[in-house]
Amino acid sequence: MPAKIVADGIRKSYANGNGTLPVIAGIDLAVADGEFVAIVGPSGCGKTTLLNILAGFDRPDVGSVKVDGAVRGGPSRKGIVISQRGSVFPWLTVEQNMYFGLNGHDPDRKSRADHYLGLVGLRGFERGYAHELSGGMLKRVELARALVVRPEILYMDEPFSALDALTSLRTRIEVLRILDQERHTCVLITHDVEEAIHMADRIIVLSPRPATIQAIFDVPLSRPRDLASREAATLKAAVLREFGL
């Protein structure tokens, strides 16, 4: 498979009180077209910074990010970010949120919005506002709003960590079901090893700050995945060993 995203020698540091704080100390990474990569690491290790750089919201000090072979200049609708805090506009209805990324003159925007709302099981909530929905529903609106613009890449920054354990698991299963129907390239940032094993084709473990790639695991499990299986447990133990646990 051709590489969709190629990160080449990424380094990044931030200025703080007395000098610079290196956050990312050289990361090379290639994500294949249609691949689902999870990036896990201890909290504060620079995972989010790495995602921001991959998605074009931040620039590396050294190195480059190429998407489809072209150097990434800034964010684009080709790759939509789904964040932990959520960015469904609370002043717009669910339907207006769905239309946000679409052209107002698009004759089939209604049917497209309708299709994706149906896909996430939220048909009937078109006129609702964010504060009238639960956390899990809101996540699904955000996913539907991203999918409706037909992005090629989904960047997910701890998208489920604000949800309770049950809702998180349920939403994960839902997302996997949807991604199964439409193949996207996915980059998931998480600190939850089980979530990574549940969703990803490949797991990249980052070192503590400044981040480098510490280990890479392939996830050879068939889908849908049984997290209680022996293979999953063995893999989880192996990944956790990288964290010294």
**Which residues bind to another protein, rule: CB under 8 A?**
55, 57, 74-77, 80-81, 83, 85-87, 89-92, 96, 100-101, 129-131, 149
CB 39 within 8 A of CB 189: yes
Q: How far is the CB of 59 from another protein (least distance, A)?
A: 14
Judge whether 152 and 185 are in contact, CB under 8 Å.
Answer: yes
Nearest residue (CB) to another protein, 96 versus 214: 96
- What are 19's strand-pairing partners? 16
Residue 136's nearest CA partner among 100, 101, 175, 98 is 175
Helix, strand and coil content of the chain, in percent to the nearest 5, comes to: 35, 30, 40
Q: State the Cα–Cα distance between residues 36 and 184, nearest whole angstrom.
A: 8
Nearer to another protein, 43 or 87 (CB): 87
Residue closer to another protein (CB basis): 83 or 167: 83
Helix H or strand E segment including 79? strand 79-82
Nearest to another protein of 162, 227 (CB atom): 162
Compute the least distance from the CB of residue 234 to another protein, in Å. 37
- Closer residue to another protein (CB): 88 or 203: 88
Size of the chain, expressed as the number of residues it contains: 245
Query: What is the closest distance, in whole angstroms, from the C-beta atom of residue 138 to another protein in the complex?
Result: 12
For residue 65, give the H/E element and its range: strand 62-67
Nearest partner of 202 among 212, 211, 213, 210, judged by Cα? 213
Smallest gap from Cβ 73 to another protein, in A, equals 12
Smallest separation, CB 200 to another protein (Å) = 22
